Structure 1
Amino acid sequence: MKGFKSRVLSRAKSSNDSNKSSQNAKRKDLKEALGFSDKKSDKGLKLKDSFRHLAQTAFSIPATQTSTTSIPLYITSSPKHVMSSAASESISGDLSLLKHGTKAGAFERLQTTPKDSTALETIKTPKRNTSSRFRISTERELQKLPSFHGLSFNINKTFELTCLTEVPSNNREDLFMKKLNQCNVIFDFTNASMDIRSKEIKREALHELLEYVTNNRNVITEPIYSKVIDMFSTNLFRPIPPPVNTYGECYDPEEDDPVLEVAWPHLQMVYEFFLRFIESPDFNTNLAKSYIDHHFILQLLELFDSEDPRERDLLKTTLHRIYGKFLTLRSFIRKSINNVFFQFIYESERFNGIAELLEILGSIINGFALPLKDEHKSFLMRVLLPLHKVKSISMYHPQLSYCIVQFLEKDPSLTEEVILGLLRFWPKVNSTKEVLFLNEVEEIFEVMEPSEFVKVQVPLFQQLSKAISSQHFQVAERVLYYWNNDYFCNFVNDNIDVILPIIFPALYENSKMHWNRTIHGMIYNTMKMFMEINPALFDECYNDYTFSQEEAEIKDKERRDMWLALEIMSNSGGKDSYDNIEILSKNFRETRRPLEQSIENLRLDDHKYTQDTSIVKSTKIDSETDNNQINANIKHFL
């Protein structure tokens, strides 16, 4: 043992010495590059040349003499490591030297690499400044047009004010078209100093269009529909790239901040104008349906993958307005949303707008007519329930739970299928996800009917019993909080004969074995409540639990004895061993029979006691004395 310790210490010491020598070499190289003199420089060079000679011999590389003064020095003021122009230009030349049998170039390139130890620690993944790719217009110079009402002023390139008179009413439609054409120009917002004047002209034009449509009647004519839809499509429909940065690290919506659109000042105005356009009393769906078609809906749904939550919120409102206005598109919109969900569940598990789409569906489900169609029931079972198995459920669980509850309020007969579906997707090791499931089950309790509760009480409380036994205190705590819910307590009181035998073992075991004191107190209150509701059933459950534990101990002892007998038989390997096994088995049966009989007698006595207590007329007992007796009984059980 001492020899092993000495070897470990010697290796650790040699490792420390090598680290110190490498640090000293780096410090000396830096001094020489800056021009500082060192008395031991010649000795250090000889030592370095010897090490280089050893390395080159190992790699079969011809020896080359290099001086430490030739090592370039890079001093950067920014935290990120940026290579110099000389180093970057030498990359292509070095790559051209990598031919068959030439290893010296690669080795020398490693020798002349700048020794920047802090650069790697400060490298951070750059964030994109936009979450989408716009098609920037080539002609971006705009001239300010007159306003629809009142006086307006134009600022030319020499900063002179020019007064523009009010446009006559018969020319306003033509002016409306011109402003829409101006709004089709797409600018590059990644460069804030580019096209400042034209960007402001477009923003003012969008604002004037919005005010004009909102405050005037009979201004939406047939030629305007195509122009408005074209302007909306040009500004908003663009490819949404996957949220992966240049270094390939995936975007985590729970940890990372969303990437906001830098072009949002224009995008917001386009969305608001389009909403006012659809909500206008002059809007005619018969004229617009030739432009707002299936292709338009699919492109709109693709935008829900935008990382900007502001855009997703306006998209949610826009799609909901279209769903309300265009009756012929409702079925297609629902099917298209289902397809997005299917791709999210079974393929990518990544889509930013799931919560917003579920909000739209929550409003749609609320308006379903009764009785529910088979299409809607199929949507519940094949789309909403499988959404529970995705790992990122926390991003949209409130909206998903709302949709489930809306379905059960519409048709309570679906409760059994929903509960069994939740139990099928119940998480096994993800405690955070399990807490979300428990929250949803409690919301379902508030809309559940007693007749439906009876159908699911056994499998449901078997799962709740496992949750009570969880060593994760938040899971156990969330289940025990159920007893603060009046709806839940009423269901338990009405069906205590079925429920208490299922969850009593978990309550009793956790009252003794759980590590969290808060859980102990909550279990104590729960058991006290059960004892107050039905003390006889509580005693019976305690006795059954005790008997089952004794049975388990007997079986465990038999199993250990049988294995011991098999071990003896394998060691002896004779006929006498088989005789010993038969004698041992006979002894097991003889010792087990009276014990089983005594347990059965105790069961009969307990059953007789329960019947006698139910026949005897109840007498009035002081409440304080009764509570003291209950507390004493619980302490006795615990």
Structure 2
Amino acid sequence: APSTDQQELFCQKLQQCCTLFDFLDSVGDLKSKEVKRAALNELVDYLSTNRGVLVENAYPEITNMISTNIFRALPPSDNPDFDPEEDEPTLEAAWPHIQLVYEFLLRFLENPDFQPSIAKRYIDQKFVLQLLELFDSEDPRERDFLKTVLHRIYGKFLGLRAFIRKQINNIFLKFIYETEHFNGVAELLEILGSIINGFALPLKAEHKQFLMKVLIPLHTAKGLSLFHAQLAYCVVQFLEKDPTLTEPVLFLSFLPLKAHCTRLVIRGLLKFWPKTCSQKEVYFVSVQFSAISVCYVMLVMFLGEIEEILDVIEPSQFKKIQEPLFKQIAKCVSNPHFQVAERALYFWNNEYILSLIEENIDKILPIMFSSLYKISKEHWNQTIVALIYNVLKTLMEMNCPLFDELTASYKAQKQREMMKEQERDELWKKLEELQVSRASEVQNNSHGSPAALNNNNSNNNNNEPQESSDDVEATAVIMEDLHQDTTDIACENVSCAK
């Protein structure tokens, strides 16, 4: 067509492509569907190869065609118990057309002649909100396009940035505390990773709040394994921007949340460290897997994220979190599940973490020693035992005198525990002997002659209170010793646990 008519034909093609077809009917309107597909291909090629196409009156036609084709109510899932890790997703039936519309939208946003000052009249908050709703599509192909489109919009429309962040925030909060289902969490987190990377310093209060109130609680959400890599990347991006957030983030994950909010990222991960196997934590396994195995999977994931954080932590921040952190690592090393113990022991393969440990060996070795020494003697998995021997050797080389002192202290404590146990056994033995003696005496009395019984009864009237008192006193002494012994052992165990 002549160049003077091309703009008019372009708009006519856009209007032609606003016609929708039912792709659930695989045999209906086949010719019309093919005509539209060809028209969409022409539009994509025309926009890609020509300059001066994006005149002002083309913007409403373009955005109307795009909105008509991609904005729709997503159908309910065919499988209410859909598991993204086990089940095949439901693919969009109209994808042959929708894919081309997304490609056209990307060419539109990336075109050198694109003018955000004109486009902002049509690509507004309503447009963005409808776009975000589509992230719940089961079709991974659509979510991948949406991810790129939203990233382009965020980059070109400065006035929409705060709105986009707020709406993503709302989607995550609804996902965590209400629906527990949203298909596009991983894609939205991937976009956020790029957004966080571009945050200016110092970080705004709203950005820190997003980290603590949204990203950290996402560690408790259903389907964590599906988006954990993207989530960990976002957290690490925050810590690289502001290392002072490291302490609060870890503590929120492993320990109860502190009222003092200034200690906010390592504290975050510590709070949500999985301790029990609730229904939320068995989200991604099929029924044949036990809930306890899911907890082990989550522990391994958390340990991986902690290592990523420690890779970027500053030594000054490490000192603030080393004690609670290595108490948790000691528990993981002692875990009977070999993958959890193995993942925790792999920390000693990281050169930077090793340098931090060596710098603070006087604090860390006393925390780790008891668990490592005990498991080296008792763990069922020989691979874990070999890893622990290597770790113990490394720690010994870092501070041999302290290592020897802890070894002697540990052995002395074990000796005391053995002696206590022997004393307990002896006390129980005495108690049993006393009971047998009393039972035998009662039996002998019951088998005597009537005359002897009368005499015994007469004699025992004077002696019985004294004998009964002696027996009671002896029993009381033994029971008191047992109680004290049990209390001592309990106190020692609590002390060791701490």
Q: TM-score range by the shorter chain?
A: 0.7 to 0.9
Alignment correspondent of 2:458: none
Pairwise mapping of residues 191-270 of structure 1 onto structure 2 (< 5 A)? 191-245=25-79, 249-270=80-101
SS of the counterpart of 2:146? Answer: helix
What's the CA shift string for 1:479-538, capped at 9, x where partnerless?
A: 111111101111111111111111111111111211111111111111111222222211
State the one-letter code of the partner of 1:406.
Answer: Q
Pairwise mapping of residues 455-470 of structure 1 onto structure 2 (< 5 A)? 455-470=320-335
| Separation in structure 2 between the aligned mates of residue 591 and residue 342 of structure 1, nearest angstrom | 51
Alignment correspondent of 1:543: 408
Alignment correspondent of 2:234: 403
Alignment correspondent of 1:56: none
Alignment correspondent of 1:285: 116
Matched-pair contact (CA < 8 Å) for 1:466–1:506: yes
| Separation in structure 2 between the aligned mates of residue 591 and residue 477 of structure 1, nearest angstrom | 36
| Counterpart selection for 2:153 from 311, 316, 322 | 322
State the one-letter code of the partner of 2:273.
Answer: W
Alignment correspondent of 1:133: none
| Separation in structure 1 between the aligned mates of residue 270 and residue 419 of structure 2, nearest angstrom | 34
| Separation in structure 1 between the aligned mates of residue 95 and residue 429 of structure 2, nearest angstrom | 77
Pairwise mapping of residues 81-92 of structure 1 onto structure 2 (< 5 A)? none
- Larger CA deviation: 401-410 vs 386-395: 386-395
- Larger CA deviation: 421-430 vs 347-356: 421-430
| Residue 513 in structure 1 maps to residue 381 in structure 2 | no
State the one-letter code of the partner of 1:422.
Answer: L
SS of the counterpart of 1:170? Answer: helix
Q: What's the TM-score once normalised by structure 1's chain length?
A: 0.63
Matched-pair contact (CA < 8 Å) for 1:338–1:383: yes
Matched-pair contact (CA < 8 Å) for 1:565–1:581: no
Q: 1:264 to 1:576 in 2, by over 3 A?
A: same
**1:381, CA displacement in angstroms?**
0.5
**1:286, CA displacement in angstroms?**
2.0
| Separation in structure 2 between the aligned mates of residue 203 and residue 297 of structure 1, nearest angstrom | 25
Pairwise mapping of residues 338-357 of structure 1 onto structure 2 (< 5 A)? 338-357=169-188
What's the CA shift string for 1:248-294, capped at 9, x where partnerless?
A: x5111010111222221211110011111112122222222222122
Matched-pair contact (CA < 8 Å) for 1:467–1:476: yes
Matched-pair contact (CA < 8 Å) for 2:20–2:69: yes
Q: 1:491 to 1:554 in 2, by over 3 A?
A: same
State the one-letter code of the partner of 1:579.
Answer: E
Which structure 2 residue ranges, 5 or more long, are not aligned? 252-267, 276-291, 440-464, 487-498
Paired residues in the alignment total 423
**1:565, CA displacement in angstroms?**
8.5
State the one-letter code of the partner of 1:196.
Answer: L
| Separation in structure 2 between the aligned mates of residue 385 and residue 449 of structure 1, nearest angstrom | 20
SS of the counterpart of 1:222? Answer: coil
| Counterpart selection for 2:246 from 415, 418, 438 | 415
| Residue 180 in structure 1 maps to residue 14 in structure 2 | yes
Q: 1:565 to 1:337 in 2, by over 3 A?
A: farther
Q: 1:519 to 1:556 in 2, by over 3 A?
A: same
**1:547, CA displacement in angstroms?**
2.9
Q: 1:591 to 1:368 in 2, by over 3 A?
A: closer
| Counterpart selection for 1:310 from 117, 134, 141 | 141
| Separation in structure 2 between the aligned mates of residue 364 and residue 587 of structure 1, nearest angstrom | 66
| Counterpart selection for 2:391 from 526, 538, 544 | 526
Matched-pair contact (CA < 8 Å) for 1:384–1:404: yes
**1:391, CA displacement in angstroms?**
3.4
State the one-letter code of the partner of 1:473.
Answer: F
State the one-letter code of the partner of 2:270.
Answer: L
Matched-pair contact (CA < 8 Å) for 2:424–2:485: no
What's the CA shift string for 1:142-200, capped at 9, x where partnerless?
A: xxxxxxxxxxxxxxxxxxxxxxxxx2222222211110111111112233332222122
Q: 1:531 to 1:278 in 2, by over 3 A?
A: same
Alignment correspondent of 2:192: 361
State the one-letter code of the partner of 1:425.
Answer: F
Q: 1:382 to 1:551 in 2, by over 3 A?
A: farther
Q: 1:241 to 1:565 in 2, by over 3 A?
A: farther
| Counterpart selection for 2:312 from 441, 444, 447 | 447
Q: 1:575 to 1:387 in 2, by over 3 A?
A: same
| Counterpart selection for 2:206 from 366, 370, 375 | 375
State the one-letter code of the partner of 1:201.
Answer: V
| Separation in structure 2 between the aligned mates of residue 591 and residue 478 of structure 1, nearest angstrom | 38
State the one-letter code of the partner of 2:414.
Answer: Q
State the one-letter code of the partner of 1:195.
Answer: D
Matched-pair contact (CA < 8 Å) for 1:416–1:455: yes
State the one-letter code of the partner of 2:170.
Answer: N
Which structure 1 residue ranges, 5 or more long, are not aligned? 1-166, 593-638
**1:566, CA displacement in angstroms?**
8.7
| Counterpart selection for 1:580 from 437, 460, 474 | 474
- Percent identical across equivalent pairs? 56
Alignment correspondent of 2:298: 433
RMSD: 2.7
Q: 1:534 to 1:214 in 2, by over 3 A?
A: same
- Which is richer in helix? 2
Alignment correspondent of 2:341: 476
**1:459, CA displacement in angstroms?**
0.4
| Separation in structure 1 between the aligned mates of residue 365 and residue 61 of structure 2, nearest angstrom | 68
State the one-letter code of the partner of 1:360.
Answer: I
| Residue 190 in structure 1 maps to residue 190 in structure 2 | no
State the one-letter code of the partner of 2:47.
Answer: V
**1:209, CA displacement in angstroms?**
1.3
**1:585, CA displacement in angstroms?**
8.0
**1:562, CA displacement in angstroms?**
7.5
The structure with more radius of gyration: 1
Matched-pair contact (CA < 8 Å) for 2:243–2:317: yes
Q: What's the TM-score once normalised by structure 2's chain length?
A: 0.80
| Separation in structure 2 between the aligned mates of residue 549 and residue 378 of structure 1, nearest angstrom | 48
**1:564, CA displacement in angstroms?**
8.1
Alignment correspondent of 1:500: 365
| Separation in structure 1 between the aligned mates of residue 370 and residue 76 of structure 2, nearest angstrom | 49
SS of the counterpart of 1:396? Answer: helix
**1:229, CA displacement in angstroms?**
1.3
State the one-letter code of the partner of 1:519.
Answer: I
| Separation in structure 2 between the aligned mates of residue 268 and residue 195 of structure 1, nearest angstrom | 19
Q: 1:562 to 1:357 in 2, by over 3 A?
A: farther
Q: 1:586 to 1:227 in 2, by over 3 A?
A: closer
Q: 1:554 to 1:279 in 2, by over 3 A?
A: same
Pairwise mapping of residues 121-140 of structure 1 onto structure 2 (< 5 A)? none
Pairwise mapping of residues 79-118 of structure 1 onto structure 2 (< 5 A)? none
| Counterpart selection for 1:394 from 205, 218, 225 | 225
| Separation in structure 2 between the aligned mates of residue 524 and residue 550 of structure 1, nearest angstrom | 22
| Separation in structure 2 between the aligned mates of residue 302 and residue 582 of structure 1, nearest angstrom | 73
- Larger CA deviation: 218-227 vs 323-332: 218-227
State the one-letter code of the partner of 1:224.
Answer: A
